[in-house]
Amino acid sequence: MTQRMRHGAAAAAALLLTTAAACAAPGGPGTVQPSARPSAPVSAAGGPAPRQGFTLVASGDVLPHGSVIDRAHADAGGVGHDFAPMLAGVRQVVSGADVAICHMETVYGEADGPFSGYPAFVSPPQIARGLADTGYDSCSTASNHTLDDGAEGVRRTLDALDEAGVRHAGSARSAAEAARPARLTAGGARISQLAYTYDTNGYPLPDGQPWAVGLIDERAIVADARAARKAGADVVVVSLHWGTEWQTDPDRVQLDLGRRLTASRTAGRPDIDLIIGTHAHVPQPYEKVNGTWIVYGMGDQIAGPMTNDEGESDPRGNQGSIGRFTFAPPAAKGERWPVTKAEFIPQLYDTDEGRVVPLRQAVDHDPDRDDYRAALEGISAAVLGRGAARDGLTPG
């Protein structure tokens, strides 16, 4: 695990209590009025919103290789790029949730390019509109590719997400922005999303910007989660870009860090309510650890044809799952919002069609698609590989 200098916990706590709650430039989409604590959700009648609970979905890496960019250009009729058609297959699941979180692995270029795929990704900014049209509310932006185009790539990415109305966590244009999580409300709950990555592929943090990318540091993550809770968060979600590429089983760092993070408590209440993992490029297990769900790896949601570490074409690189978690109001004041239902929804990016495919529906519709059936079985085996079914994880 690579650890580098990032914003301090004390600064994070102070800024959380003094800055605006939205990850947006002043006056931009999602901007709210500054306050010492985020306002409690309110009902249409003006009183406190009833606490009804909510559903949260999360999905894997959006990784636009050159072939994906070309497909979006074709879907736009040869003028610009349109990413909504390739995501249309999961729009019902994503938009049907109260809160939907994606992982934006790459950074954006200028509207007219130039764009590039592997190894240094610069993606069309129109992806942000495609994510918004699909129903995503927030995206983690901390990954090993966050600095592929330096500080300007970070700025362009966050500007485009702001313009599309999508919150973000994990990279930042200022120290103040780095110190506050993405904040959302649903079902009477205030939800904070934090995001971190294990490394930036050796690219150094921009001069004078140690806060540009959230880097994995256990003490800082716990401090940030506690600061978010102190600032009013009912539910704290942590997105982690971690693990070993092409390995289905979580590695020792994932297991150890996941155990320690889920064990962290303040006044008996867990500091973190859900961990969402990305990076491995293959589906990894879900597991309930210390009473908290961890998705070690969602797999890829969008990616071109993938080649594994042995140089072989590997269809697992286009497989992933969408996690869906139902949170209920706490039984008593000061207790956690428990997850009462946990589900996984297998999905595949069909590189021939250029479309994200919800696999259960696809197999039901066309039982003769042996490739879809094999992918469905493989994803399910990976997701359930650490006994999550015993803790109540079910197919969605």
One-letter identity of residue 331: A
Q: What is the pTM of this model?
A: 0.89
* Domain 51-395: which CATH number of 3.10.20.30, 3.40.50.1110, 3.60.21.10, 3.40.50.2300: 3.60.21.10
Tokens of 10: 């004390």
DSSP state of 243: S
Pairing of strands 393-395, 339-350: parallel
pLDDT of residue 51: 81
Give the angle subtended at the CA of 210 by the CAs of 205 and 212, to the nearest 5°. 70
Q: d(Cα 88, Cα 364) in Å, to the nearest integer? A: 18
Q: d(Cα 211, Cα 127) in Å, to the nearest integer? A: 24
Q: What is the mean pLDDT of each run of 10 residues along the chain (396 residues)?
A: 33 33 31 36 58 96 98 98 98 98 98 97 98 98 98 98 98 97 97 98 97 98 98 98 98 98 98 98 98 98 96 97 98 95 98 98 95 98 98 97
Cα separation values, 97 from 210, 339, 349, Å: 35, 14, 21
Residue with tokens 């069309």: 124
The pair phi, psi for residue 236, each rounded to 5°, is -115, 120
At residue 216, the 3 state secondary structure works out as coil
The residues, ordered by sequence, that sit 6+ positions from 62 with a Cβ below 8 Å of its Cβ are: 102, 103, 104, 105, 106, 127, 131, 139, 301, 302
pLDDT of residue 50: 73
